[in-house]
């Protein structure tokens, strides 16, 4: 049995610059790009910093996944119905990757392919980035005067969408499990703790300690969300109906390694987007076939 501590990526932006330049909060990727270009003044400040590094397990794939889903792309044709045909090399997926790389070229950091989560946090906290997609667990650092030069200057909004898609913020979880091979009394005590941890009272205390709660009724609480230090909560609450998982199969760890390599190669220009996605499709198909899944491949990208 396991219980999750949820985190998800939100779009963070510099509220003071938005006010100075009279910018509209973006709802689409096109609007985000337009705003990022207006604020892009390197090396003083980058319009957006993206997590384009090859990570272990997930850097560039986690950063790109909200683009993929919102452009109506997918890893599998219909995972919920057991159809694991690899569809990541569809025209929709290519449009998502093309846009991600366009964002980097037109308004991003010159070393996007080398930026992992730590560098994204560093750029935001030092005022070098106007925008980033980042897990909300990093928020407390942004308002810590001992760590941040942008205290009170950042705000959060839901992950953008494509012109004809929906937002698709990606879930991430820290899981706490109860092992089968410990004494029954310890299992019972652990379950009692996990059940208590998810109560409203415990989750309010968790929030007050600086961590993002997992309960929607805490996230959407009108009194708690009015506290300036909780100004990210509305965006997280609003994003809940749109959240997506990257995958639900144990082979996801192997596929993640493939994604990190090939997507990073596309970001740094070693592979075209079509070539990268076709290679991901071939390698992911082989992994799923070895696992005995109902799988297949679609027509490759030209």
Which residue(s) pair with 86 in the sheet? 76, 297
| Average pLDDT of the segment spanning 285-295 | 98
Whether the per-residue pLDDT at 55 is higher than 70: the answer is: yes
Whether the per-residue pLDDT at 162 is higher than 70: the answer is: yes
Q: In the prediction, which pLDDT does 268 show?
A: 99
| Average pLDDT of the segment spanning 179-185 | 96
Q: In the prediction, which pLDDT does 136 show?
A: 87
- CA of 166: how far to CAs of 55, 158, 162, 298, in Å? 27, 11, 7, 24
| Average pLDDT of the segment spanning 275-283 | 99
Residue with tokens 């909300």: 136
Find out whether 210 and 254 touch, Cβ atoms under 8 Å: no
Find out whether 97 and 67 touch, Cβ atoms under 8 Å: yes
Residue 272: name the closest of 282, 262, 281 by CA. Answer: 262
| Average pLDDT of the segment spanning 233-245 | 93
pLDDT band at 175 (very low <50, low <70, confident <90, very high): confident
Q: How many CB atoms lie within 10 A of CB 241?
A: 9
Whether the per-residue pLDDT at 294 is higher than 90: the answer is: yes
Q: In the prediction, which pLDDT does 7 show?
A: 54
CA gap 89, 104 in Å, rounded:
21
Whether the per-residue pLDDT at 2 is higher than 70: the answer is: no
What CATH number labels 2-171+244-290? Answer: 3.40.190.10
Residue 138 carries which DSSP code? G
CA contacts within 13 A on the Cβ side of 263: 34
Find out whether 296 and 267 touch, Cβ atoms under 8 Å: no
Whether the per-residue pLDDT at 90 is higher than 90: the answer is: yes
Candidate from 23-37, 42-56, 95-109, 128-142 with smallest mean pLDDT: 128-142
The domain spans of the chain are 2-171+244-290
Question: What does the longest C-alpha to C-alpha distance in the chain come to?
Answer: 61
Residue 133: name the closest of 70, 216, 209, 225 by CA. Answer: 70
Q: In the prediction, which pLDDT does 8 show?
A: 61
Whether the per-residue pLDDT at 168 is higher than 70: the answer is: yes
CA gap 167, 83 in Å, rounded:
23
Q: What is the pLDDT of residues 97-137, one digit of tens each?
A: 999 999 999 999 999 999 999 999 999 999 999 999 998 88
Find out whether 142 and 125 touch, Cβ atoms under 8 Å: yes
| Average pLDDT of the segment spanning 267-283 | 99
Whole-number percent of the chain with pLDDT over 70: 97
User: What is the rounded average pLDDT for all residues in the chain?
Assistant: 94
Per-residue tokens: 69: 């889903």
Whether the per-residue pLDDT at 59 is higher than 50: the answer is: yes
SS3 call for 154: strand
| Cis ω for the linkage preceding 43 (within 30 of 0) | yes
CA gap 180, 127 in Å, rounded:
47
Find out whether 26 and 163 touch, Cβ atoms under 8 Å: no
Whether the per-residue pLDDT at 197 is higher than 80: the answer is: yes
Q: In the prediction, which pLDDT does 57 show?
A: 78
């Amino acid at each position: 049995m396991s219980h999750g501590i949820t985190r998800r990526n939100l779009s963070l932006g510099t509220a003071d610059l938005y006010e100075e330049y009279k910018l509209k909060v973006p709802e689409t990727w096109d609007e985000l790009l337009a705003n990022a270009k207006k604020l892009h003044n390197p090396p003083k400040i980058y319009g957006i910093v993206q997590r384009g590094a090859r990570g272990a397990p997930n850097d560039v794939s986690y950063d790109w996944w909200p683009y993929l889903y919102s452009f109506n792309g997918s890893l599998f044709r219909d995972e919920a119905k057991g159809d694991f045909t690899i569809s990541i090399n569809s025209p929709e997926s290519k449009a998502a990757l093309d846009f991600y790389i366009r964002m980097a070229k037109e308004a991003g950091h010159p070393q996007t392919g080398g930026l992992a989560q730590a560098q994204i946090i560093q750029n935001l906290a030092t005022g070098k980035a106007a925008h980033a997609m980042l897990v909300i667990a990093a928020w407390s650092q942004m308002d810590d005067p001992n760590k941040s030069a942008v205290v009170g200057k950042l705000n959060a909004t839901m992950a953008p969408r494509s012109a004809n898609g929906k937002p698709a913020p990606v879930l991430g979880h820290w899981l706490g499990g109860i092992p089968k091979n410990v004494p029954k009394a310890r299992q019972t005590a652990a379950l009692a703790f996990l059940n208590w941890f998810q109560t409203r009272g415990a989750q309010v205390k968790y929030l007050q300690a600086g961590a993002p709660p997992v309960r929607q009724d805490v996230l959407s609480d009108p009194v708690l969300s009015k506290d300036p230090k909780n100004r990210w909560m509305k965006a997280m609450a609003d994003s809940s109906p749109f959240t997506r998982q990257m995958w639900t199969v144990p082979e996801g760890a192997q596929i993640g390694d493939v994604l990190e390599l090939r997507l990073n190669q596309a970001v740094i220009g070693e592979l075209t987007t079509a070539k990268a996605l076709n290679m991901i499709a071939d390698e992911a198909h082989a992994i799923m076939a070895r696992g005995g899944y109902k799988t297949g491949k679609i027509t490759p990208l030209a």
